[in-house]
Amino acid sequence: MADNHNISGKFMGLKDFHLKFKQGFQLRRILKIKTGVKKKEANFTTKPSWMMPAVSHGHHVVEGYDEFDCDYVVAQREQIEELEVWLFGVSDPRIGGGITKYMQAHLFDKKPKESIIKGKSNETMRKAYLDAKAKLRDAQGTEETTGVGSVSAMVINGEKLVLANMGDYRAIVCREGLAHEIGIRQKQSPKMSWTHRLFKANNKQSKSSDLVVGAEKIENDSEFVILASSGIWEVMKYQEAVNLIRRIENPEIAAECLASEASNRMSRSNISCLVIRFD
């Protein structure tokens, strides 16, 4: 049964524009939420609601002089009986909502069983990025997509965290005050499947155009996640960003703090961030 507070099966967009001049920029906030109801499979073990961390989130976008060149920010919620799924993302305007639309069409709208949500989320996320890149290449009439970035996160029942990033957009997890970047990379050898890596983040990656997808359990020491564009990371180290907002309980204020700091440091790229807290 659908939650009375939600609108089932409809995409609900909320745009709350907060304009403020600072460092020659305008600040804009965009929130797009989708809710829905799907079926539940009994063999998926879930924690009682009182054991699962509450998920809160906030975002902030520093807008340049051209408001149409602004990053696409999404926070989308799906309810599958007792299973709560959140999809978050910050994307280059050239990709926009392509990744979100793919996830909706190929995962949520198919009314999957809970076991599919749990087991196929990583692969569906990867395909969403590849599909968005392919459509962008077709639109541009070129194979080159250098400089295009996006970062996404799925939070499944407060237990599983799926992250993906492409380009210079990054997802950073704070665990016990330390910044970590999580990823699964596809190896060159066809005999080698995906390998799981969890490593302390140091703002280094092999190629900025690489697609990285990864997952981990949300444990008691998982504090929050930062999804941010290149405008944050070109002027701030991962641990530095974590230290800056760790004591800020309100994720909306934390996201604004990160964006404002990047603006103060005269970042030249898109400045957008979304903070997800596990309370």
CATH of the domain at 120: 3.60.40.10
Is residue 34 assigned to a domain? no
- Sign of the Cα pseudo-torsion (234, 236, 241, 244, in order): negative
Structural domain count, the chain: 1
Contacts of 111 (CB under 8 A, 6+ apart): 38, 39
Percent with pLDDT over 90 in the chain: 49
Cβ-count burial 80-96 (b if 16+ within 10 Å, e if not): beebbbbbbbbbbebbb
Q: Is residue 83 part of a domain?
A: yes
Average pLDDT of the segment spanning 197-201: 47
pLDDT band at 51 (very low <50, low <70, confident <90, very high): low
Q: What is the pLDDT at residue 47?
A: 52
Select the more confidently predicted residue: 88 or 143. Answer: 88
Distance CA 239, CA 176 (A): 12
Q: What is the mean pLDDT of residues 146-165?
A: 92
Most confident of 35-49, 55-69, 203-217, 218-232: 218-232
Lowest mean pLDDT among 22-36, 57-71, 101-115, 262-276: 22-36
Tokens of 50: 């009182």
Classify residue 33: in a domain, yes or no: no
**What backbone phi and psi angles, to 5 degrees, belong to 115?**
-65, -30
Q: Categorize the per-residue pLDDT at 24 as very low, low, confident or very high, splitting at 50, 70 and 90.
A: very low
**Crossing angle for the helix pair 98-106 and 114-140, nearest 10 degrees?**
140
Q: Residue 265's pLDDT band (boundaries 50, 70, 90)?
A: very high
What is the average per-residue pLDDT within 266-278? Answer: 95
- Whole-prediction pTM: 0.75
Domain with 231, as residue range(s), is 52-140+148-181+208-278
Instruction: Tell me the one-letter amino acid at 249.
Output: E
In a domain, 246, yes or no: yes
Q: Is residue 38 part of a domain?
A: no
Give the residue-averaged pLDDT of 221-238: 96
Per-residue pLDDT band for 112 (boundaries 50, 70, 90) equals: confident
Provide, rounded to the nearest whole percent, the portion of the chain with pLDDT above 70: 67
Angle of CA points 205, 210, 211, to nearest 5°: 115
User: Which amino acid does the sequence have at 252?
Assistant: E
User: Is residue 111 a part of any domain in this protein?
Assistant: yes
Residue 247: phi and psi, rounded to 5, are -90, 5
Please check whether residue 100 lies inside any domain of the structure.
yes
Under a CB-based contact definition with an 8 Å cutoff, are residues 229 and 269 in contact? yes
Residues 6+ apart with CB under 8 A from 275: 57, 58, 59, 224, 225, 226, 227, 245, 251, 252, 254, 255, 258
Residue 246 pLDDT exceeds 80: yes
Q: Which two tokens stand for residue 201?
A: 């983040």
Residue 29 resides in a domain? no
Q: What is the CA radius of gyration of the chain?
A: 18
Determine the Cα–Cα distance for residues 90 and 273; give it in Å rounded to an integer. Answer: 7
